[in-house]
Structure 1
């Protein structure tokens, strides 16, 4: 199915049977029931273990799960003084970092079970990543905040190694290799070469018309995908010539309006694209949104690999484990309908889907 074939590309009413899954295809998913007392904000797998998972949530807690036995066992947890918005593992898998609405950056030692604050911003910490930067390729923690800055920390001293002003409030951030991409309010994109982390290499404006929800970098470190609140995804490249040749955008996470009046034009219900994750081996990617669907895509051949039916609850975040054999997704309220949409009994679970090659491996066009 081409990206350009239909605006309703994430629904069960479009695509061929070969590209559409059913709920039976999710029958082997591991379900973590009641993983938090409020919505899940982030999910991250250990880069050193296929079965260790960290999750952050709006209840102010970060939890670590072991899913090796086929069931999820809670291993550890620690707390912030406010909702936690982001979490990631260190490169050696020994520590978990997190940030949130208490403006604090915390670091949790998995072996000792101890957490301590290693940094702070003047507003909420919305995103963080462990990166290797500078001439010595040193590992450090980079954090982005609503205070319009990103900060680099070596985690052994209380002050940041470097602070870099952003064009606006930081909403999202990702990195691969030497590429760091920051998405801010007002649709600004800041591109940073981690060989020179103290300066912005290039700034751009999102080609999507509405607020940026997520950015995710390609495995090769030469480009990134942008997702927005209007259910669109943009495929972007750092090099201008490559962008002219290969860049594009497409509609996703839209559904036909079941309540449209008879005889009226087709109408789509538009949902935010909340999360994008690239497969660590194949370089294909998943998207998930407020429609409760997730899809796997091949950007190089511009088609959808597999679409999954709506699970009737928004999906705020997705991620793959280190070898791409497990795809984690959360069902939690994402506030796209405001306060009125947060009804009693709204789903709040984490599901782990064992991936198959026919779902996530690129298929060359005949």
Structure 2
């Protein structure tokens, strides 16, 4: 699919994006399958936002812009003509790619942590302890709900939205005729481990909905309205060291391939893992990269996997190496 000068057969399938940001990637999103083009977006802690066009034989940088705040999340509209950005200043901006102009469509009192496009409106969650819904056409707030604590992660699979908060609470909302809070649950697992990422899953055979919570203890937990305390967790990014001790790594992101329902996790151990539907089994584990994998994304057709290498500060400032630069790679998704 992509060509490179690497030696192994596996590496020949990997393509590195040109002109990456100068700091670690904070948001990474492919354009949706309904988009008019195949493109990938990356936002960075250097406050830049960039887009590359993904073609059959190459990836071409298209446009770059600088923000006032760090982009923490992004969402494409259905046609791939606009991207909505949530940043550390609390701003929710629309980036019109045809005019290359930014327009504010909403604002939070503190940093806007997540951003999701829901058909004709926008859903954002924030460190100001709210979930809000916006009409980007008029820059008006359609609805606001208060959260018990700061939002750490969220996902939407219509008509369900789920938000994980800093106090270990997980809130499920129905968006039909809503938003209406359906349940307020406790995040599964022992200890005060942060949720770093959340992905809503719908089983193809039964249609039942659950969600997967990626945490800082190297584990991913499945939870649902029927299994509120959670299912048996999956040990993703943990490795045994000497004397029987476990070396645990942060699971920075969990994503679901919406075409196949297979899944992927990435961690601060510099490893990505492909999993079967519902994380029923590990399909593949990558080599250990020389940097953490901070973000990942799956193309709208389910064929391409993107992952970003960079320092995520999980080991503290003393392990930061300024000579290691951020990188973004594309490779086929393993099913």
Q: Same fold (TM over 0.5)?
A: yes
Q: How big is the shift at 1:34?
A: 4.5
Please tell me whether residue 175 in structure 1 is matched to residue 182 in structure 2: no
1:289 aligns with 2:267: yes
Unmatched 5+ stretches in structure 2 = 1-6
Query: 1:340 corresponds to which residue?
Result: 318
Aligned residue for 1:319, secondary structure, equals: strand
Q: Distance in 1 between matches of 2:9 and 2:290?
A: 15
1:40 and 2:25 aligned: yes
Aligned counterparts of 1:175 and 1:162: Cα–Cα separation in 2 = 16
Shift of 1:156: 2.4
Task: String of CA shifts for 1:165-210, please: whole Å, max 9, x gaps.
Answer: 1111011111112111111112211111111333311111111231
Instruction: Report 1:128-167 matches (<5 A).
Output: 128-132=115-119, 139-167=120-148
**1:120 corresponds to 2:107:** yes
- Asked if 1:85 corresponds to 2:66, the answer is no
- Judging changes above 3 Å, is the alpha-carbon distance between structure 1 residues 189 and 146 closer, same or farther for their aligned structure 2 residues? same
Q: CA deviation at 1:23?
A: 6.9
Q: Is the 8 A contact 2:262 2:279 kept in 1?
A: no
C-alpha distance 279-249 of structure 1, shift in aligned 2 (>3 A): same
Bigger mean CA deviation after superposition, 224-233 or 78-87: 78-87
Deviations 1:296-336 (A, max 9, x none): 11245721111111112101111110111100000011111
Match of 1:314 among 288, 292, 305: 292
The alpha carbon displacement at 1:342 in A equals 2.1
As a proportion of its length, which structure holds more strand?
A: 2
Structure 1 segments of 4+ aligned residues over 6 angstroms from their partners: none
RMSD: 2.0
With the length of structure 2 as denominator, give the TM-score of the two structures. 0.90
CA contact (8 A) 1:60 1:83 kept: yes
Any gaps of 5 or more consecutive residues in structure 1?
1-21, 133-138, 361-366
Aligned 8 A contact 1:226 1:235 in 2: yes
Matched, 1:268 2:246: yes
Q: Structure 2 CA distance, aligned partners of 1:183 and 1:69?
A: 38
Normalised by the length of structure 1, the TM-score is 0.83
**Aligned residues of 2:166 and 2:194 also touching (Cα < 8 A):** yes
The offset of 1:111, in angstroms, is 1.7
CA distance in 2, matches of 1:301, 1:175: 19
